[in-house]
Structure 1
Amino acid sequence: MHSLRLARNHSTSEHERLVYEGWILYDIGHHEEALAKAEESIAIQRSFEAFFLKAYALADSSLDEESSLYVIQLLEEALRCPSDGLQKGQLRKYVFVDCAKLDQAATCYMNALNIKHTQAHQGRARVFHLKNQLKAAYDEMKKLIEKAWNNASAYEKHSEYCDQNMAKSDLSMTTKLDPLRTYPCRYRAAVLMDDYNEDEAIAELTKVIGFKLDLQLLHLRAAFHDSVGDHESAIRDCEAALCLDPGHSDTLELYNKVCEQV
């Protein structure tokens, strides 16, 4: 994070500064905001770095088939932009994964690890996961935790490759290392809701919203309020979320649905 901030502060152009700001936002869990920074940068100048950031943030926030196809298009656009051979070699790993060429992707990730590219552990874990080699994916993420400078992010990623009890432990550590990350809170609240502990689930979200207004937290709490029949609170949370992003489609849909019930 420190190196990213230094790079941003010494950027020589606006489009470059926006890319660094996007990675800073991504690393603290604000993937949608990172995506917006990438789009701002591309609007100023099409660059390898901006397209790569956009593809990376989108791939991490959505895994449906349509999004995967769009990610591949973005990666191909990045490859058309001027850049050095190392960056393009790194990018081909993501193209291989999204095209389901998993063996080629695994080879690329091993090459990256051989030149000390620590984040390649995350890519190898994804390949193992797609091959249904779950223990190998879990072990690969353990290696990232041992090496990564941003351990909060590593623990959060590690939680995606283990059972619920281990995930809770990983996310508790994530919160301890970086209390401002919102994914652990959303996960804990969702688990509580699945166990029919509605009041505790809402309280979990409220605890974090009290010191950090976040679109996804507000939307989730609105959905929880709606599910227990508290339409007034659901409307209030929807309106607060729409103040942050008036065009957020999921919140608009929920807001209209709740208003029809009142």
Structure 2
Amino acid sequence: MSKSHYQSLSQMNNVIPSVLTDASALFGLPQTDLIEPQIDPYLKFVDFVDVLADVYRRLENCQQFEKSAVYMEQCAIFRGLTDPKLYRKCLQLARQHAFDVHSKVVLSAWLRFERRDDELFGVSAMDCCGLSPECPRCSLVSGYNPESVTDPCLCPRNLEGDEDMEAKLEGQECSTSFSVGDEEGDDYDIWFCIGDDEVKCNRFKIASLSRPFKAMLYGSFTESRRDRIYFAQNGISAKAMKAADVFSRTKRVDSFDPNVVFELLVLANRFCCDELKCACDAYLASVVDDMESAVLLIEFGLQETAYLLVAACLQVFLREIPCSMRNPNVLRLFCSSDVREKLALVGHASFLLYSFLSYAAMEEDMKSNTTVMLLERMVECASLNWQKQLAFHQLGCVMLERKEYKDAQKWFEAAVQEGHAYSLVGVARAKYKRGHKYKAYKLMDSLISDNRPCGWMYQERSLYCSGKEKIMDLNTATEMDPTLSYPYKYRAVSMLEEDKIGPAISEINKIIGFKVSPDCLELRAWFLISLEDYEGALRDVRALLTLDPQYMMFHGKVHGEQLVELLCRHVPQCSRLIAGCNFMIGGPR
């Protein structure tokens, strides 16, 4: 527990009787003007069925390589629903139909994040779960194979192959020190002079590496008429040049030292040796297996535009989320606009990538600067209409949470211009926070008049009116969408203000009975403390902490664990054991 928690707990210990017998002694009872519905940071539509039907039609008619992107759009739509199974199923389908390495890496890591594998002890981020779609090795292989979704991973076979290869290489001298052509004395017809070393090579085989080499060795250059070429000014060592000669004969680099392969990759870029570059890229990608190696190699990969190497480094960072998001080097990589441009040059800057990063950052801390910067990168990558709607809307939600209302209004309005009607709720809320309550009311009134009404429209309009009109809007919102929790909370707190605690608890029980959320459990615990039903309050707070272990209660002033400790002092041991094992979070008290 943090130092601030201990200080808060110490203060509360001095007023334990008053805190638990009269909640208003320290924090005050809940009030209707202190609660308001949160704006969902997801896509919401007035004609939800029409939107889903349109996505289905496009899935039926699009090309195979387009399916993954359409499934991601469907995923963004389902994210706003209360059923996480639909959302995860769309993620799986998007991964199933992914064809490029970048999409496979991001989606595999996203699926791992959704399973919360990072919370399991003894599980490494690079461990394979056994199926191809989520295997870190398979993600680095390009190609489209939607039928492989249930195929077992080939990792065990690959590992056996690696062991066989190591056994074959064991006992051999360094690959750059032996010569494939030693048995053929006349195979060498050219020497590259690097410092005091002369590296014997075959002119034809070196020329076959690329067109620049062919032009240099067989064209009109003076090197074509020489058997000794001075190569010291090209930044390559004699050892690496020997390796280049070996590759020109064997087409393999997996027996070289990684430092030699680094030099070969630089040589390949300088002389446009595509085959050599691909071999070096694939080999270096295979040696990236932890955060340390990924942090060291990512800059080199970006500098040399090594697609697979950068993909392997990104895969480590993404599979280590949320832990990797606390690494300053990783944050600089993801948050910087300049680095995003470098990622784009190598084919690894996408809306998909920053959508995942922003999603993880918002879950960790919605108000952080990191979240804002990642969303700004997401905006830069957005090209399709739905992508812009989502990016603008989420930036508006974050700015609203940060109480930067002018910027929030700007981003919400941008989302509205892209056709996202739900963002008008954000525009109205930002206007209201800036003191324009009547404008907010007129905006929501116009939205209801111009569209087929939805529950969330009446819920939002209720914030900007009072009396019977407010209650009517709240009741209409409940009739249209019984899953909206704010109307129940408002009615319950209104009853509490009239000293009707029993009816208040019955009202909040209605929503808890079929939709359990931390805020509703907190409200009921608050009511139960007022009734001195500490056993029931303890049960609700513990249930709440299973949903959100970091939840702050009483308007964000007290950590849930602190309240549990205080309540335990007023609940007999036997009752505490029952409360800890039996979360009766639904139904009447």
TM-score above 0.5, yes or no = yes
Q: d(CA) in 1 for partners of 2:399 and 2:517?
A: 34
For 1:109, give the aligned amino acid: E
Higher alpha-carbon deviation: 15-24 or 90-99: 90-99
Gaps of 5+ in 1: 27-35
Q: 1:191 aligns with which of 463, 488, 494?
A: 494
Instruction: Map 1:1-262; keep pairs closer than 5 Å.
Output: 1-3=48-50, 5-6=52-53, 7=55, 12=68, 18-25=75-82, 40=114, 45-48=352-355, 51=358, 67=367, 72-84=372-384, 88=388, 91=392, 94=396, 99-101=404-406, 105=410, 109=413, 112=416, 117-149=420-452, 151-243=454-546, 245=547, 247-250=549-552, 251-262=560-571
Gaps of 5+ in 2: 1-47, 60-66, 84-109, 116-317, 320-351, 553-559, 572-589
SS in structure 1 at match of 2:463: helix
For 2:505, give the aligned amino acid: I
Shift of 1:134: 1.2
Q: d(CA) in 2 for partners of 1:235 and 1:67?
A: 30
- Identical counterparts, % of pairs: 25
Tell me the alpha carbon deviations over residues 74-110 of structure 1, each in whole angstroms, 9 at most, x when there is no partner.
432322434348854872983887655469829x838
Contact 2:441 2:465 in 1 (8 A): yes
Tell me the alpha carbon deviations over residues 157-197 of structure 1, each in whole angstroms, 9 at most, x when there is no partner.
11222235433221111111112222211121122223322
Q: RMSD between aligned alpha carbons?
A: 4.4
Contact 1:223 1:254 in 2 (8 A): no
Q: d(CA) in 2 for partners of 1:158 and 1:194?
A: 22
Greater C-alpha Rg: 2
* Number of aligned residue pairs: 242
Shift of 1:136: 1.1
Q: d(CA) in 1 for partners of 2:370 and 2:408?
A: 22
Which protein is richer in helix relative to its size? 1
For 1:255, give the aligned amino acid: V
Shift of 1:234: 1.1
**TM-score computed with the length of structure 2 as normaliser:** 0.34
Tell me the alpha carbon deviations over residues 216-253 of structure 1, each in whole angstroms, 9 at most, x when there is no partner.
3223212211122111111222333345x162533444
Contact 1:51 1:74 in 2 (8 A): yes
For 2:543, give the aligned amino acid: A
Contact 1:49 1:78 in 2 (8 A): no
Shift of 1:132: 1.1
Tell me the alpha carbon deviations over residues 114-160 of structure 1, each in whole angstroms, 9 at most, x when there is no partner.
x7553353343234223312111110011122234461011111122
Q: d(CA) in 2 for partners of 1:254 and 1:150?
A: 41
Match of residue 33 from structure 1: none
CA distance change for structure 1 residues 84 and 194 in 2, over 3 Å: closer, same or farther?
Answer: same
**TM-score computed with the length of structure 1 as normaliser:** 0.69
Q: d(CA) in 1 for partners of 2:371 and 2:433?
A: 17
